Amino acid sequence: MFSTGVPTPPLFVSDGDAQLLTKAAELADTSAGFTAPHPNSACLLFNGNDIVGRGVLYGQGTTSAEVQACRSAGERANGCTAYLNLEPGDCHGDDSAIYALKQAGVSRVVVGIPHPLQHFRGKAIKELRKANIVVDVLGENLPKNTSTEQALKACHYVNAPLLYRSSLRCPMSTLKYAMTLDGKIAASTGHAAWVSSKASRQRVFATRGRSDAIIVGGNTVRRDNPKLTTRQEGGHLPARIVMSRCMHLPEDAHLWDVSSTPTIVMTQRGARKDFQQRLEKKGVEIVEFDFLTPKAVMEYCYDRGFLSVLWECGGTLAAPALTSGVIHKVIAFVAPKIIGGTTAPSPVGDMGMVEMTQALNLADVSFEKIGPDMLITGYLQPIPDLRLQVPDGLDELSATEAASFEEKPTIICFYKAWDAMGAFSNFSPHAIDIGNSEGGAVQWTSVEHYYQAQKFTGVQDTLALNHIEQIQSAESPEEAARIGRTLAKQRPDLVRSDWEGVKLEVMYTGLRAKFSKSGWRRS
């Protein structure tokens, strides 16, 4: 257990506490699919026998769960207990979540897990204890029983992608497939529509919505011509990644339509440059590797900030992904059908194993009946538990971080609001006021809201005006970005003619408005 330097009373979490922490974890999961994967946090305020306030982080750059809960509780928050599935992670320079709990008069805080990211871990707990608020952390010198273990499992599960990323320096990777009872993912002709039931396919759409990206191989593109969408109106749309060393891909494919959802083709350096250029003209992003491997792709996805990746590839790509150790979880839909065929493809290709003792075993396996199908879920690598015994006075480190202290990069990364320098991000939850032509000011929820709307400012078109209003009222910066980027791709004629020349100045205007608003941002 890491030391906060502040004496604390004996720790005790009751069965009732554990049940409320489990409820907080369940609440934290409710934004999944509506926004891109992010640290999932929720706050429940309990006073007497009632929940008097609740809040959930909707998306990156939105108001923290703690602030929402304290606002909803009002005066009833005084003297209450706050249940947080995740330690607050205020990366915005204002410690708003901690401040809200202190100002509301919360007397006790029960935390499910310390924050997985090192630049947050233990800091909120320390600050709350300094304010004489009793803080109990599940799993730290607390009695173990069924209810506390279930609560801890729920808190780990809801932030599994963040735990994998911080511990293994890799996005959480899930391999998904559907097969018949005799282990086939298609007939010997390649026909595969449909192996599983409609109910199972609906679950797949929901799973896609929880992912930053979906990965397929060239064989899947050639054979199935998939769209890889979530089939939902609005909400988060994961990037679609195609892995192909040789770029022997069809000229026309659903994935080359990037009007609403981005596509990234990852390939070997120099492969079919002419075809790469044709794809780039359609808006497809090309990423070249010296040697394309599942591990290299996952390292790239980590650098890009992804938390969760879904592999929907065939057996040829699934095999090296499994043997390279980048797959953490498997979800398999088994349909009560038998198709046969000695050449019919199976979910996983040759992995070089010749004895059953070499087989990969899943842990924490669960079974769920979905329509006529059976869904089997299990983990090849358990969800990391980042608690680590370290000397007093040191922050808690993940196993990876403790093993090797890497030199800090010379480039400061701040795209994600939860990054160490998240206050610099366009997506940080700081409203800005921008003067208008009438001498007044317009308030924008974030810099990203303002930036996206300016693409269409001055364009005399009803659709452009409607989208400016949608951007301004978007619940999260990411939703504002999705609306603006989608319209710009679908209707480039609605983007103001001088945009390429003024967009940097627009960005500077937004950033100046944010960092000049108060002292802490200037610092």
Q: For residue 181, what are its two tokens?
A: 């009872």
Buried b (16+ CB within 10 A) or exposed e, 42-64: bbbbbbeeebbbbbbbbbbbbbb
Q: How confident is the model at residue 141 (pLDDT cuts 50, 70, 90)?
A: low
Mean of pLDDT values over 52-58: 95
Our measurement of the distance from residue 432's CA atom to the centroid of its chain's CA atoms, rounded to an integer in Å, reads: 26
**pLDDT tops 90 at residue 425:** no
Question: Structure tokens of 262?
Answer: 């981005």
CA distances in angstroms from 266 to 210, 243, 298, listed in the order given: 22, 5, 11
Strand partners, 333: 178, 375
Contact 195/186 with Cβ under 8 angstroms? Answer: yes
CA distances from 374 to 367, 402, 422 (A): 7, 41, 42
Say what the pLDDT of residue 73 is: 94
Span 282-291, average pLDDT:
96
Region 64-86: mean pLDDT is 95
Q: Give yes or no for residue 226 having a pLDDT over 90.
A: yes
What pLDDT score does 290 carry?
Answer: 96
Task: For the chain, list the domains and their CATH numbers.
Answer: 15-158 (3.40.140.10), 169-379 (3.40.430.10), 430-522 (1.10.357.40)
Give the helix/strand (H/E) hosting 304.
none
Asked if the model's pLDDT at residue 10 lies above 60, the reply is no
Helix/strand/coil for 331 = strand
**What is the predicted pLDDT for the residue at 387?**
57
Task: Taking residues 51-74, report their average pLDDT.
Answer: 94
* Per-residue pLDDT at 36: 85
In sequence order, the β-bridge partners of residue 149 are: none
What per-residue confidence (pLDDT) applies to 416?
80
Provide the token pair at 249: 């891909």
N residues, the chain: 523
Residue 89: the pLDDT is 84
C-alpha 175/C-alpha 326 separation (Å) is: 10
Mean pLDDT of 7-35: 82
Q: What is the pLDDT of residue 462?
A: 96
> How does DSSP assign 10-58, residue by residue?
PP---HHHHHHHHHHHHHHGGGBTTB------EEEEEETTEEEEEEE--
- List C-alpha distances in Å: 144 to 14, 20, 140, 162, 213: 10, 16, 10, 24, 37
pLDDT tens across 194-204, in order? 999 999 999 99
Indicate the helix (H) or strand (E) that contains 100: helix 96-104
pLDDT value at residue 422 = 78
Share the mean pLDDT of the chain: 88
Q: Kindly tell me the sign of the dihedral angle through the C-alpha atoms of 276, 279, 283, 288.
A: negative
Structure confidence at residue 405 as a pLDDT band (50, 70, 90): very low
**pLDDT confidence of 418, banded at 50, 70, 90?**
confident
Percent of the chain predicted with pLDDT > 70: 89
Q: Can you give the pLDDT at residue 455?
A: 97
Per-residue model confidence (pLDDT) at position 3? 43
| Region of poorest pLDDT, from 25-34, 50-59, 138-147, 318-327 | 138-147
74 and 47 Cβ atoms separated by less than 8 Å: no
Catalytic site includes residue 299? no
- Which residues are 113's β-sheet partners? 86
- What's residue 491's pLDDT? 94
Q: State how far Cα 122 lies from the chain centre.
A: 22
- Rounded to an integer, the average pLDDT of 84-98 is 81
The percent of residues above 90 in pLDDT, for the chain, comes to: 73
Of the candidates 353, 361, 373, the residue with the CA atom closest to the CA atom of residue 330: 361
SS3 call for 281:
helix
DSSP 445-488: SSHHHHHHHHTTTT---HHHHHHHHHHHH-SSHHHHHHHHHHHH
Give the integer Cα–Cα distance in Å for 203 and 483.
Answer: 25
pTM of the model: 0.87
* Residue 6 confidence class, pLDDT cut points 50, 70, 90: very low
Q: Does the pLDDT of residue 521 top 60, yes or no?
A: no
User: pLDDT for 439-482, tens place per residue?
Assistant: 889 999 999 999 999 999 999 999 999 999 999 999 999 999 99
If one compares 333 and 7, the residue with the highest pLDDT of the two is 333
In Å, what is the CA distance from 132 to each residue of 21, 45, 126? 21, 18, 10
Dist. CA 373–CA 333, nearest whole Å: 6
* 3-state DSSP assignment of residue 110: strand
Arithmetic mean of pLDDT, 39-48: 94
189's tokens: 């002709």
Judged by average pLDDT, the poorest of 40-44, 223-227, 389-393 is 389-393
pLDDT computed for residue 391 by the predictor? 34
232 Cβ neighbours under 8 A, 6+ residues apart: 33, 205, 209
Read off the pLDDT of residues 311-332 as tens digits, 9 standing for 90 and up.
999 999 999 999 999 999 999 9
State residue 429's pLDDT score: 85
* Catalytic site residue from 66, 396, 448, 478: 66
Q: Which residues contact 480 (CB under 8 A, 6 or more apart)?
A: 445, 446, 448, 449, 452, 453, 471, 472, 474
More confident: 258 or 90:
258
Q: How many CB atoms lie within 10 A of CB 271?
A: 18
Average pLDDT rounded to a whole number, residues 347-355: 94
Q: What is the pLDDT of residue 519?
A: 52
Check whether 518 has a pLDDT greater than 60.
no
Peptide bond into 256 cis (omega under 30): no
Assess whether pLDDT exceeds 90 at residue 423.
no
Lowest mean per-residue pLDDT among 35-39, 174-178, 374-378: 35-39
Give per-residue pLDDT as tens, 143-182.
667 888 899 999 999 999 999 999 999 999 999 999 999 9
Q: What are 66's two structure tokens?
A: 């703690």
How far CA 68 is from CA of 104, 229, 357, 415, 518, in Å, comes to 12, 32, 52, 24, 22
